[in-house]
């Protein structure tokens, strides 16, 4: 039988009729995969049973409104175990047609018995439907039965793990005996695995993962294992269209970005003979080519290119000739200690941050979390407010901060120590240079990413202007401020 994407998931392109567990994090596309499995089954003339504890009959019909209503009614059955209690039989007593009532009808029974009765009734109903279908010669020689249980996670919350394990185990025997194809979904955290007891019930397991690639959600799936068939798992990417249809493709057959080497999802950005997955990658490549010459595509990019989120800070007026050198050194030491005591700095592992001294300040690059530069800025401003309270002008600590994200590459300096250079850190420095005392300024890419991330950032990160920083390069400049941090006034260079 064909599963959605099976021609990509296995070498043979066909998966034997099995009871499969599909795992993945929230939003990976498990329900949409089941939807396509269901739609393809109806199209093939299969009989489809859809079990869900989160849908009503009306919601189920709406979810599959693209299927002709008569075909949906004749070729499928929707079951919600927690909306059924009693049953009536057809004239030949072979099929159960449950009227839908709330499970309050179990008020005189214990919760455990309620769950057992609900699940036992559901199992009996599924078995009766399957027996009626197989005994009535309803199916053609090319069609079969498909079953979807979406999702096991919610069932476990409602009925408890032990009751659900028994139900799924008993159901699997019914399905295997009927040679039905079934998918059962389970939500797990990223890189999480189901327990061994649960895994042992199924014939095979599929896994989904997601990745946020420059604001674009990338989805992928693989067949981890399947009983009775040699298999080498490999990831297959897929997209979900606006109308809910899944399309699969092998990354090895797609274009890759000339700069970062990742597969280009969607329409590539073309520049001469090169392909890029974003405008940023293309512009970065141009800058590197300007430094290393037009033969960079033949010789390769220098060292490894990585994307980093930068925090760049310096002390305002530290180079004032009226400020004693001893006081300057003291301020630098105090600032270093304050930054070192901030939670964001302390909670970021050493191998996940880059620390670079910069005269009267420093640059800190965070390798993964785009929130880290702003969170560090907020924490530092709160510490500075407490420190400056009651101090005279000479002792007051003023800083300006620039934040950005972008690609850099690892280079070795004259002492053979590792350093970084690239648009990411250069932009952070230039953004910082625009600011006045206590400004937290952000370059467009990082600011817009944070605004999309959380509602709180939509009120605290404000657009300032489209600003030309150097060499004709223009950026959209933002400022982060609230009553607790930042500077609400526009930078003097903008007035």
Q: CATH number of the domain that 383 lies in?
A: 3.30.70.1230
The pLDDT value recorded for residue 1 is 57
Cα–Cα distance, 263 to 200 (Å, whole number): 35
Residue with tokens 């609230």: 482
pLDDT for residue 94 is more than 50: no
Q: How much is the pLDDT for 259?
A: 67
Give the domain-ending residue among 215, 237, 253.
253
pLDDT band at 96; cut points 50, 70, 90? very low
Residues 225 and 359 grouped into a single domain: no
Same domain, 229 and 315: no
Task: Check whether residue 10 and residue 158 sit in a common domain.
Answer: yes
Strands (E), 16-61: 19-24, 47-51
Least confident of 88-97, 245-254, 397-406: 88-97
DSSP state of 251: G
Residue range 115-129: mean pLDDT, rounded: 84
User: Can you tell me whether residue 390 is helix, strand or coil?
Assistant: coil
d(CA 283, CA 299): 19
Look at residue 90 in the predicted model and tell me its pLDDT: 39
pLDDT for 215: 61
Radius of gyration (Cα) for the chain, nearest Å? 30
The pLDDT score that the predictor gives to residue 180 is 94
CA distances, 239 to each of 28, 89, 221, 253 (Å): 11, 43, 11, 15
- 108 Cβ neighbours under 8 A, 6+ residues apart: none
Q: What is the pLDDT of residue 396?
A: 87
Are residue 156 and residue 225 in the same domain, yes or no?
yes
Averaged pLDDT, 19-23:
95
Q: What is the pLDDT of residue 346?
A: 93
Strand partners, 280: none
Is residue 416 over pLDDT 50?
A: yes
What total of structural domains would you count in the chain? 2
Kindly report, residue by residue over 359-381, the tens digit of the pLDDT: 678 899 998 789 999 999 999 99
Residues making up the chain, counted from first to last: 495
Q: Which pLDDT score, from 0 to 100, does residue 316 have? A: 87
Mean of per-residue pLDDT scores for the chain: 82
Q: Determine contact, residues 448/462, Cβ cutoff 8 Å.
A: no
Share of the chain above pLDDT 90, in %: 42
Shared domain check, 309 and 231: no
pLDDT tens digits along 418-436: 566 777 888 899 999 999 9
What's the domain range around 317? 305-494
Does 392 score more than 90 pLDDT? Answer: no
In a domain, 297, yes or no: no
pLDDT > 70 fraction of the chain, expressed in percent and rounded: 81
Q: At what angle do helices 152-159 and 111-135 cross, to 10 degrees?
A: 140
| Ranges 82-86, 173-177, 261-265, most confident | 173-177
pLDDT 10s digits, 439-489: 999 999 899 999 988 889 999 999 999 998 876 778 899 999 999 999 999
Regarding whether 315 and 384 lie in a shared domain, the answer is yes
In a domain, 248, yes or no: yes
pLDDT value, residue 67: 87
| 348 three-class SS | coil
- Angle subtended at Cα 17 by Cα 120 and Cα 63, rounded to the nearest 5 degrees: 65
Q: What is the pLDDT of residue 462?
A: 94
What is the rounded distance in angstroms from the CA atom of residue 404 to the CA atom of residue 394? Answer: 30
Give 193's pLDDT tier (boundaries 50, 70, 90). confident
Q: Average the pLDDT over each of 92-96, 256-260, 332-336, 426-430 and give the range with the smallest value.
A: 92-96
E-assigned strand segments in 287-423: 305-315, 353-357, 361-366, 399-412, 418-421
**At 442, phi and psi to the nearest 5?**
-125, 140
Q: Is the pLDDT of residue 88 over 90?
A: no
Q: Is residue 276 part of a domain?
A: no
| 39 assigned to some structural domain | yes
pLDDT, average across residues 213-240: 83
Residue 252 pLDDT:
52
User: Tens digit of pLDDT for each residue in 37-63?
Assistant: 999 999 999 999 999 999 999 999 999
Average confidence (pLDDT) over 395-412? 84
Within-domain flag for 229 = yes
Give the mean model confidence (pLDDT) for residues 261-288.
72
pTM of the model: 0.52
Q: What pLDDT score does 115 carry?
A: 53
Domain with residue 71: its CATH number is 3.40.50.300
Q: Among residues 229, 253, 277, which one ends one of the domains?
A: 253
Whether 238 is in a domain gets the answer yes
Q: Which is higher by pLDDT, 348 or 114?
A: 348
Specify whether 235 is located in the same domain as 137: yes
Q: How far apart are CA 34 and CA 4, in angstroms?
A: 9
Q: Are residues 86 and 231 in the same domain?
A: yes
Mean pLDDT of the 61-85 span = 86
The answer to whether position 386 is within a domain reads: yes
Quickly state the pLDDT bin for 270 (edges 50, 70, 90): confident
| Domain stop point among 193, 218, 253 | 253
d(CA 22, CA 246): 16
Return the minimum-mean-pLDDT range out of 160-164, 175-179, 292-296, 306-310.
292-296
Non-local (6+) Cβ contacts of 469 within 8 A are 427, 430, 431, 434, 475
Determine the 3-state secondary structure of 180 from DSSP: coil
Domain identity same for 309 and 225: no
| pLDDT tier at 244, thresholds 50, 70, 90 | confident
Q: What 3-state class would DSSP assign to 306?
A: strand
Q: For residues 488 and 479, what is the distance between their CA atoms, to the nearest angstrom?
A: 8
What confidence tier does 128 reach under pLDDT thresholds 50, 70, 90? Answer: very high
User: Which pLDDT does position 254 carry in this prediction?
Assistant: 59
pLDDT higher than threshold 50 for residue 80: yes
Q: Do 358 and 249 belong to one domain?
A: no
C-alpha 482/C-alpha 243 separation (Å) is 41
State both tokens at 55. Answer: 């849908």
DSSP 3-state percent helix, strand, coil across the chain (nearest 5): 40, 25, 35
Is 355 found in the same domain as 209? Answer: no
> Whole-angstrom Cα distance, residue 207 to residue 445?
32
């Amino acid at each position: 039988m064909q599963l959605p994407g099976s021609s990509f998931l296995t070498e043979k392109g066909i998966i034997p009729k099995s009871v499969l567990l599909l795992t993945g994090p929230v939003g990976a596309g498990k329900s949409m995969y089941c939807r396509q499995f269901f739609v393809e089954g109806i199209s093939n003339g299969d009989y489809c049973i859809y079990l869900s504890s989160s849908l009503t009959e009306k919601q189920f019909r709406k979810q599959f409104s693209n299927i002709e209503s008569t075909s949906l009614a004749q070729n499928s059955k929707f079951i919600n175990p927690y909306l059924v209690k009693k049953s009536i039989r057809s004239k030949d007593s072979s099929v159960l047609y449950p009227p839908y009532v709330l499970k309050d009808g179990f008020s005189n029974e214990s919760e455990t018995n309620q769950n057992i009765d609900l699940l036992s009734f559901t199992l009996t109903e599924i078995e009766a439907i399957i027996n009626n279908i197989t005994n009535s010669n309803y199916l053609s020689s090319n069609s079969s039965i498909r079953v979807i249980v979406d999702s096991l996670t919610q069932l476990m919350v409602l009925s408890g793990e032990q009751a659900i394990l028994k139900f799924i185990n008993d159901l699997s025997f019914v399905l295997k005996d009927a040679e039905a194809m079934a998918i059962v979904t389970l939500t797990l955290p990223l890189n999480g695995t189901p327990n061994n007891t649960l895994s042992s019930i199924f014939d095979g397991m599929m896994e989904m993962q997601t990745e946020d690639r420059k604001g674009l959600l990338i989805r992928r799936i693989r067949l981890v294992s399947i009983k009775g068939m040699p298999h080498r798992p490999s990831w297959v990417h897929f997209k979900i269209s606006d109308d809910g249809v899944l399309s699969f493709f092998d990354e090895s057959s797609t274009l890759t970005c000339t700069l970062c080497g990742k597969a280009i999802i969607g329409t590539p950005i073309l520049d001469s003979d090169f392909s890029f997955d974003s405008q940023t990658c293309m512009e970065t490549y141009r800058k590197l080519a300007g430094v290393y010459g037009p033969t960079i595509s033949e010789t390769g990019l220098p060292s490894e290119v990585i994307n980093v989120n930068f925090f760049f800070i310096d002390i305002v007026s530290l180079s004032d000739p009226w400020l004693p050198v001893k006081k300057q050194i003291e301020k630098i030491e105090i600032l270093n200690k304050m930054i070192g005591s901030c939670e964001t700095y302390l909670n970021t592992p050493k191998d996940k941050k880059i620390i670079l001294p910069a005269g009267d300040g420093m640059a800190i690059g965070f390798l993964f979390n785009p929130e880290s530069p702003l969170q560090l800025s907020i924490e530092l401003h709160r510490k500075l407010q407490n420190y400056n309270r009651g101090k005279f002008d000479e002792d007051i600590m003023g800083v300006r901060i620039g934040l950005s994200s972008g690609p850099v590459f690892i280079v070795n300096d004259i002492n053979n120590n590792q350093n970084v250079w690239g648009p990411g850190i250069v932009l952070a420095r230039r953004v910082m240079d625009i600011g006045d005392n206590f400004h937290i300024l952000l370059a467009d890419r990082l600011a817009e990413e944070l605004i999309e991330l959380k509602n709180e950032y939509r009120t605290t990160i404000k657009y300032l202007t489209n600003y030309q920083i150097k060499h004709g390069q223009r950026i959209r400049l933002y400022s982060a401020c609230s009553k607790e941090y930042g500077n609400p006034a526009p930078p003097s260079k903008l007035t």
